[in-house]
């Protein structure tokens, strides 16, 4: 009997974990792992766009990642700057739109500026949307949404729809699939509200080893799942 085939997930979120361990296994510095992690992100963005994914959220820097050594934080921010500045031709060719999720106010001003510029430069593209979760925490996003809702007026009704409407990117549909590389079964404060009914996939591979084929395999796995959203089996 043929399995019921669901389409390609419209929105995939990825927790790109294992950069540090990848480097340590090779006796290299953690920063080398992040450099290779950026290359993996580029491979996976291209593959997702080619496969017809509409939204790809990349967990690039969490609200908790500031606890890391200043050198590592500075290095990751440098990679983000490089990615935002250096990829314009690639975005243009692939009609990719860049967006941000997270607290802009807590970002270094130059990074916030680069994000704004990349979002403006690519805002008219109708291809896949890449959402960089930067200075992002799921709890923080819910708190900021609640504050915006409260500020919208004394009669603001507190409903699920109203909170959803005040998230960072309210027009972006909830993720269908959330992938975590490097083998750990944790959500680490990623898309807590939006991921309520996502399918989850944990891959043992460290993020720098990820390729487009790994994404294809993850999508194949997703297509075999039976999503019920709290209902019963059809």
Q: Which are the catalytic amino acids?
A: 17, 65
Question: Among residues 9, 20, 102, 195, which is the contact residue for ligand FPP, using CB under 6 A?
Answer: 20
CA distance 120 to 125: 10
Cα separation of 213 and 34, whole Å?
Answer: 20
Please tell me whether residue 222 binds ligand FPP under the rule CB under 6 A: no
Shortest Cβ 35–ligand FPP spacing (Å): 8
**Where are the alpha helices (H) located in the chain, listed in sequence order?**
19-25, 30-51, 70-86, 88-94, 109-122, 138-151, 160-165, 212-223
**Residue 29 in contact with residue 23, Cβ under 8 Å?**
yes
Residue pair 18/181 in contact (Cβ under 8 Å)? The answer is yes
- Check: CB of residue 38 under 8 Å from CB of residue 113: no
Phi and psi angles of residue 218, each rounded to the nearest 5 degrees, phi first = -65, -40
Q: How far, in Å, CA of 99 to CA of 155, rounded?
A: 31
Q: Are 173 and 198 in contact (CB under 8 A)?
A: no
166/180 with CB nearer ligand FPP: 180
CA 113 to chain centroid: 19
Q: Which 43-82 residues touch ligand FPP, going by CB under 6 A?
A: 58, 60, 65, 76, 79-80
Determine, following the binding rule CB under 6 A, whether residue 17 of this chain makes contact with ligand FPP: yes
Counting contacts by CB under 6 A, is residue 191 touching ligand FPP? no
Nearest distance from residue 112's CB to ligand FPP, in Å?
A: 14
- Give min distance, CB of 118 to ligand FPP, in A: 11
**Pattern 21-50, ligand FPP, x by CB under 6 A:** x------------x--xx--x---------
Q: Which of 47, 56, 75, 83 binds ligand FPP (CB under 6 A)?
A: 83
Using rule CB under 6 A, residue 122 touches ligand FPP: no
Residue 115 in the binding site for ligand FPP (CB under 6 A): no
Told to check if 16 binds ligand FPP by CB under 6 A, we report yes
3-state SS string for 115-140: HHHHHHHHCCCCCCEEEEEEEECHHH
In the complex, minimum distance from the CB of residue 127 to ligand FPP, in angstroms, rounded to a whole number: 17
Residue 18, interface with ligand FPP (CB under 6 A)? yes
Closer residue to ligand FPP, CB minimum distance, 28 or 226: 28
Measured CA to CA, the distance from residue 23 to residue 3 in angstroms comes to 40
> Which residues of the chain form contacts with ligand FPP (CB under 6 A)?
16-21, 34, 37-38, 41, 58, 60, 65, 76, 79-80, 83, 182
């Amino acid at each position: 009997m043929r399995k019921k085939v669901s389409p390609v997930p419209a929105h995939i979120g990825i927790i790109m974990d294992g950069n540090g361990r990848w480097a340590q296994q090779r006796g290299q510095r953690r920063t080398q792992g992040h450099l290779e992690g950026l290359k993996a992100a580029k491979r996976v963005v291209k593959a997702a766009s080619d496969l017809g994914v509409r939204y790809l959220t990349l967990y690039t820097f969490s609200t908790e990642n500031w606890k890391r050594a200043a050198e590592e934080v500075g290095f990751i921010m440098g990679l983000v700057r490089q990615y935002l500045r250096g990829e314009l031709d690639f975005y243009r060719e692939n009609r990719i739109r860049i967006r941000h999720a997270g607290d802009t106010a807590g970002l270094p001003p130059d990074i916030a500026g680069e994000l704004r510029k990349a979002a403006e430069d690519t805002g008219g593209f109708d291809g896949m949307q890449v959402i960089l979760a930067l200075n992002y925490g799921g709890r923080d996003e819910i708190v900021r949404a609640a504050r915006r809702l409260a500020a919208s007026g004394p009669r603001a009704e507190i409903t699920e729809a109203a909170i959803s409407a005040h998230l960072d990117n309210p027009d972006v549909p909830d993720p269908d699939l959330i992938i975590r590389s490097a083998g750990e079964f944790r959500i680490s404060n990623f898309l807590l509200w939006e991921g309520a009914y996502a399918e989850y996939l944990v891959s043992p591979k460290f993020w720098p080893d990820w390729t487009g084929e790994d994404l294809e395999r993850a999508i194949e796995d997703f297509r075999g799942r039976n999503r019920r959203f709290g209902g019963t089996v059809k």
